[in-house]
Structure 1
């Protein structure tokens, strides 16, 4: 009976229906309630670009917040913006969910490993769709950048990086896999090629002057928004925000970001480990977690990225044999405090008095990220892989 249950849980059809079903249920509920303000901002950006209206000003009669993405995003949203708004919103959410599911499915994972990644992160599909998050698609682009470099398809890997960078900046994380490319010059040339293409793309429906000016305005508004994020209770749900709120101290984020970047980069010195797939997989997990933990723009709704990273780490860590109990504890701790702490399954007083005010969602992910870095710096991945295969 247990074997049959295990077979059902690992069935790709079941996992696909579960993943997409959660996204569909959430998006339909938003459609019925008429509460999808983020999608309104996204879709209106296309019409603002068409009419050459400013992208980065408040439109209080249309939307509740600023548009914060690059003008190239308006090309991405255009097919959805052309549809009736409720239908466009549902399709936007479903395409993003499907894109990320497909990206994860293209990773070199065994059936049980793929099932763990999906099951660990599926609850956060709901919370991400609840805010119509574009971070779902950005996460997929970063994973695809990794996958395509692994498959030596550097031209298309570069497209994932460039489109991510020129729409939300976070796509720059895809460059973390550059040193694993076997065709580095081709990759660089592809970055330049796609950079030009994506830069010019909005000029199909907007003037060159408007496009160039919009890119400049985008960087200005990002600096302004970064300053605001540090003091909003629903923003900066990251390692940066957690340390600020727990200590009550005011200090530059660079005191955390620079050591974090050094820790992230140190494993690159272990060049001989590049040939081991599990070492490269841990870089994927580390990069995705870094994107969440070291950004003032991280929201509760953006933790789908972190949970996917945690799932990948858990099934690919070389310490499956040496520290299995610690790994399992960290996974369960992360599911409880990071994934479930914002749901009704978690005690309300803990959620409202501790988790939210102190950004404690970031704590388990921080511990796992530090463990990933430690593993990258200390493990012999070739020997560890052999032990896992024979265990």
Structure 2
């Protein structure tokens, strides 16, 4: 009884929000005070460059930051409220805004409250890794979760809004179209999606000009192509993906992405053949977990802070398991140690370097993703929907 009471203290949604906000503030201030907030400056100046009609994707020595921006023009509007603030306030509130969107997404899922709280705890450390870099991936994970949840709730406009937003900001948001088959009124959903996409395309023109935005989208495409080429070197901090793992273990940067991407996509699509399972909430949640992990392990742009997206998928998968046997628990621990802890000082420097240089951060996620695909192809998900951990969603 006493142990149950002690554990119940932690099963509190306000405590999870408090923990994440504390992590956001501490990470932001720590990096700001050590003058290591280059990513935030890249984000901040997308707004100022946009309103001044300056190039968004040029690594100029005149810029007060290093490296290039790789986010879409619509991102400048999202960062605007923070960009106008002093940097100490902007960095803190930026991180806080990101974790609020992430938790909004987690607590929107059709799971019972305690399950969502545990998912929040499982993701906390990986979120912290992204927060130290002021990464938008934290909020992007939330938008993918929200687009999924709103489809289940038949709030098509809200779902289409978050899909369009994620796509126009970082392209990753487009993966939420994986949930399109769960949409009931598909034509209305497509219409809403087009309206949102056009809006995100046009609104930045109000703060700049149509010619500037058209030119900027072309430059964005070029920057993404160039970034993809540079990511596949064997010693970069990007390409922490399944393809990167294969290239680095083989010591061959010329191994192409195409065959591996096509193979991964074929496996990803296989569970769609089980049409009879579509109505089961657990099947849909497993597809959500698969999508979140697939997005990261099959992207050459994946870096360490990107893995908050994949780790949300791992947390959802773990909580959906009807039996937390030794294999399931071992996979979670493996992912937590190799994927989540590997960038930290807890892991010896030589081991950290070994994990990074061979893209081994992707390995546990890949193993869990293959497990998800196998389970989606073999399990009867009706039994999952009869457990207490899933919240009912009517008329699916």
Q: TM-score, normalised by structure 1?
A: 0.95
List gaps (5 residues or longer) in structure 2. 390-396
Which of 62, 83, 97 in structure 1 is aligned with 2:85? 83
List gaps (5 residues or longer) in structure 1. none
Give 1:54-133 correspondences, 5 Å limit.
54-61=55-62, 62-133=64-135
Give the Å deviation of 1:85: 2.0
Assess if the C-alpha contact under 8 Å between 1:146 and 1:284 holds in 2: yes
Is residue 302 of structure 1 aligned with residue 313 of structure 2?
no
Which of 252, 256, 259 in structure 1 is aligned with 2:263? 259
Is residue 286 of structure 1 aligned with residue 286 of structure 2?
no
Match of 1:344 in 2: 345
Assess if the C-alpha contact under 8 Å between 2:104 and 2:146 holds in 1: no
Match of 1:222 in 2: 224
Match of 1:270 in 2: 274
Match of 1:163 in 2: 165
Give the Å deviation of 1:190: 0.6
Aligned partners of 1:310 and 1:210: how far apart in 2? 41
Which of 201, 204, 218 in structure 1 is aligned with 2:203? 201
Give the Å deviation of 1:9: 1.7
Deviations along 1:51-98, one digit per CA (max 9) or x if unpaired, are 111111112241101111111111111111111122112111110111
Give the Å deviation of 1:206: 0.7
Give the Å deviation of 1:192: 0.9
Give 1:298-337 correspondences, 5 Å limit.
298-317=302-321, 320-321=322-323, 324-337=325-338
Which of 116, 140, 149 in structure 2 is aligned with 1:138? 140
> What SS does structure 1 have at the residue aligned with 2:70?
coil
Aligned partners of 1:72 and 1:174: how far apart in 2? 18
Match of 2:359 in 1: 359
Aligned partners of 1:349 and 1:78: how far apart in 2? 40
Match of 2:177 in 1: 175
Match of 2:383 in 1: 383
Give the Å deviation of 1:292: 0.7
Aligned partners of 2:351 and 2:171: how far apart in 1? 34
Aligned partners of 1:387 and 1:82: how far apart in 2? 48
Match of 1:240 in 2: 243
Is residue 34 of structure 1 aligned with residue 29 of structure 2?
no
Deviations along 1:20-79, one digit per CA (max 9) or x if unpaired, are 211111111122222100110111111111111111111224110111111111111111
Aligned partners of 1:47 and 1:347: how far apart in 2? 41
Match of 1:371 in 2: 371
Deviations along 1:112-171, one digit per CA (max 9) or x if unpaired, are 312321121111121101111011111111111001001100111001011111110000
Q: TM-score, normalised by structure 2?
A: 0.94
Aligned partners of 2:117 and 2:46: how far apart in 1? 37
Give the Å deviation of 1:342: 1.5
Assess if the C-alpha contact under 8 Å between 1:292 and 1:303 holds in 2: yes
Match of 1:48 in 2: 49
Match of 2:394 in 1: none
Paired positions, count: 385
Aligned partners of 1:289 and 1:213: how far apart in 2? 33
Aligned partners of 2:140 and 2:61: how far apart in 1? 27
Assess if the C-alpha contact under 8 Å between 1:313 and 1:372 holds in 2: yes
